[in-house]
Structure 1
Amino acid sequence: MNTQIILEKYIDSIIQIMTPHGTGTGFIIGNLIITNSHVVAGLKEVVVSAKKIKRIIAPVVYDDPYFDLAFIELESLEIPKTPLLLSKETVSDGDTTIAVGHPYGLNYSATEGIVSRASRLQDDLEYIQIDAAINPGNSGGPLLNVKGDVIGVNTFIIQNANNLGFALPYFYVQEALDAFLASKKKNLIKCTSCKNLIEEKDIQNDYCSLCGVKMQTAKLRRKGYKPTGPTKLMEDILTSLDVDVNLARRSQSTWRIDHGTARIEINYYENGIIIGDAKLCGIPSENIEAVYDYLLKENSKLSYLQLSINENSIYLSYLIIDSSLTLDEGKTALQRLMEYSNKYDDILIHKYKAIKQKRDEED
């Protein structure tokens, strides 16, 4: 099968994973989502989405920093019609491979390459070295052979190298799956020292209950993610507007809210500026002067917000410095941004024939 056919066949099995620390990829095997441990970043819960799964919070039931593997569970997980399967065939140098994932948040990207070295030893573990282009966001995604079977999990790259990537082989994944399923338990962490699976409830003060080694993953899961400063204030504002910040959060300083037909992106920049942008419709090819007149007229009525045009798109925006942000002002401004975005989008599209924006719903 060629790359496009494979992607189309197995696309329902490819998952995007989002945490406050970044994004990554996962894939469905059986009734679990497989990904890298470093993708879930020591969290007990992550946000997942896919073609047939809207953004939802899901628990991490197995975290294995030794193999750099994690398993995520969805109670309502629908097994794809054409499920991915772990390979049972030996990987050889020169084999064609296909890496599937969400590099830099770009959904469902597939890159083709070859196996440069079928077994490359790194820190006592074997890895498949590949030349297929993998980038941040690809981590945790499947490495497939030409039959569409999973031969590995895309795990890391060599920085500043040209297409030098490494995937954890399928047999380690099978070993981890077998051990997890045999335990018939959840919330397991693999100790990197004694290699035993330890139930989280049995871990005291973040030390392995069997060998006594400090377990960094246990510490991270216990602490969780807690925003501070203006980031916490921003999330308090969103929560006061009945926004689920866990689903809205794209990183520690970015949030996305879908409200009606509007999509609002909120970014907190290092220089202290907070900008909430609602990208509305595109300017029409005709009657442009009337659109400009309308936007100028509406801007004279607005407080907190500003209508503008960037290239060929119309935006409704809110801008403030973090030191000036308060709960009351932020709530008022963002509530208006959410409500007015829908209103202006409808008016501009229906009255002024502006162009409705296309949107990648799974992005």
Structure 2
Amino acid sequence: MNKDIFDTVYKVNHSGGSGSCFYLRDLNLFVTNNHVVDGHHEVALLDNNRTQHYARVVLVNPDVDIALLATDDDFKHLPLLSLAADDSLQISDKVHVAGYPYGMPFTLTEGTVSSPKQLMDGQYFVQTDAAVNPGNSGGPVFNGEGEVVGITVSKFTDADNMGFAIPVNRLREMLVNIGDEIDRETFKVMCRGCDCLISEKENTKYCPNCGSKLPDGIFDEIPLGPLAVLCETALKRLGINPVITREGEDEWRFHMEDTEVRIFTLDDPYLALASPVAMLPKNNVEAVLRYVLATDFGPFKIGVDNDDQILYFCYRVPARNIKDDTFEELCGNIVRYCNEVKNISATLINEYGCRHSNYSKLNS
């Protein structure tokens, strides 16, 4: 198997969580599950180096749980994936499940086909004993030749050693039915009755071609909460597309130049910002600590993680403080924090001999 094919497997991030997807170079589209992107028309795609790409959800087929994603970025350098022939899988064939379980970095697990055609809920699935977990959904299942034989749909039960995938023939049928119709700018739904592609502009609950009822709320997007509106307003003011920074509900991650910025909520609840701005130097640590103690960073703070010797630039505010009359002040503090991160990191590294952290873009 050509190991380069694993470069075609990406992580899908949005404000509701994450999943996996894979790239079909001949169509210039990414494939994932519909349930991975349900309620989201814009998502972020990340490779294993955490390079971020903006993508649009351009077609969903809820009936077979497949979605197609389009991006304007150039992925021509990625290997060409082949779809395996229909019914090519046999019991006991070896397969590999690729993806990002639990939002973790890329993993690959090997397993055996328990059933190439397991009937469940009126549909056929590939059943395998390969380790499959939440986050794997939407990723590819490869055969021994590196061909895609299925799309992982995670686990239907809590049973161990039991994972499932949508057979590749369902993807092939979908691609044949859309032909050259795909609109790379508009969100559309494929009708389960006649395969007609329906745009939300048609403002209908029923297929205009055959009359089949569409799933309730299929065109709706999940709205952002007040905290997310605050944070994403600040990111837009910084010139950052917030979509590509989303890591889940009320969680964002991005870089200001070389330095990573994390925005998230704590249990209390607090809105928190933290950045690993530098690692302590091997020598002359006292000078660094004197600088940190003598400098007023208010309303921000700097702390040291003794375990990994990293200096963290931090900001925390109780979520209850996020109100209409404090919106501009807090938004301004987030913008100021992100700009300060760059300066603090440069000062620590250039003037005090600190080292770039492992989270720096230079070390990613």
For 2:235, the equivalent position in structure 1 comes to 238
C-alpha change, 1:37 and 1:277, in structure 2 (3 Å) is same
For 2:146, the equivalent position in structure 1 comes to 148
C-alpha change, 1:42 and 1:320, in structure 2 (3 Å) is closer
Aligned to 1:103, which of 101, 104, 112?
101
Aligned to 2:222, which of 222, 225, 230?
225
For 1:197, the equivalent position in structure 2 comes to 196
**Which region of structure 1 is more displaced relative to structure 2, 136-145 or 49-58?**
49-58
* 8 Å Cα contact 2:234/2:335 also seen in 1: no
1: distance between equivalents of 2:137 and 2:327? 37
Provide the identity percentage: 25
C-alpha change, 1:292 and 1:144, in structure 2 (3 Å) is same
Structure 2 unaligned regions, length at least 5:
none
Q: Which amino acid aligns with 2:232?
A: E
Aligned counterparts, 1:1-20, within 5 A: 1=1, 6=2, 8-20=3-15
For 1:207, the equivalent position in structure 2 comes to 206
* 8 Å Cα contact 2:259/2:360 also seen in 1: no
Task: For residue 354 of structure 1, give the secondary structure of its aligned residue in structure 2.
Answer: coil
2: distance between equivalents of 1:16 and 1:136? 12
Q: Which amino acid aligns with 1:138?
A: N
2: distance between equivalents of 1:302 and 1:287? 22
* 8 Å Cα contact 2:233/2:331 also seen in 1: no
C-alpha offsets along residues 319-354 of structure 1, whole Å, 9 cap, x if unaligned?
A: 001222322322332233222222222222233332
Give the TM-score normalised by the residue count of structure 1: 0.88
- TM superposition shift of 1:191: 2.8
- TM superposition shift of 1:269: 3.6
C-alpha change, 1:283 and 1:235, in structure 2 (3 Å) is same
For 1:180, the equivalent position in structure 2 comes to 178
Aligned to 1:259, which of 251, 256, 280?
256
Aligned to 1:168, which of 142, 166, 169?
166
Give the TM-score normalised by the residue count of structure 2: 0.88
Aligned counterparts, 1:105-124, within 5 A: 105-124=103-122
Task: For residue 153 of structure 2, give the secondary structure of its aligned residue in structure 1.
Answer: strand
Task: For residue 143 of structure 1, give the secondary structure of its aligned residue in structure 2.
Answer: strand
- TM superposition shift of 1:285: 3.2
Aligned counterparts, 1:18-29, within 5 A: 18-29=13-24
* 8 Å Cα contact 2:235/2:335 also seen in 1: no
- TM superposition shift of 1:39: 1.2
1: distance between equivalents of 2:329 and 2:115? 58
**Which region of structure 1 is more displaced relative to structure 2, 55-64 or 83-92?**
55-64
1: distance between equivalents of 2:339 and 2:72? 34
Q: Which amino acid aligns with 1:349?
A: I
2: distance between equivalents of 1:81 and 1:19? 23
C-alpha change, 1:198 and 1:264, in structure 2 (3 Å) is same
* 8 Å Cα contact 1:278/1:337 also seen in 2: no
C-alpha change, 1:338 and 1:146, in structure 2 (3 Å) is same
* 8 Å Cα contact 1:305/1:333 also seen in 2: no
Q: Aligned-residue CA RMSD in angstroms?
A: 2.5
- TM superposition shift of 1:77: 4.0
Task: For residue 157 of structure 1, give the secondary structure of its aligned residue in structure 2.
Answer: coil
- TM superposition shift of 1:159: 4.2
Task: For residue 205 of structure 2, give the secondary structure of its aligned residue in structure 1.
Answer: coil
Structure 1 unaligned regions, length at least 5:
none
- TM superposition shift of 1:280: 1.6
2: distance between equivalents of 1:174 and 1:209? 25
1: distance between equivalents of 2:291 and 2:119? 65
Aligned to 1:58, which of 45, 55, 59?
55
* 8 Å Cα contact 2:39/2:222 also seen in 1: no
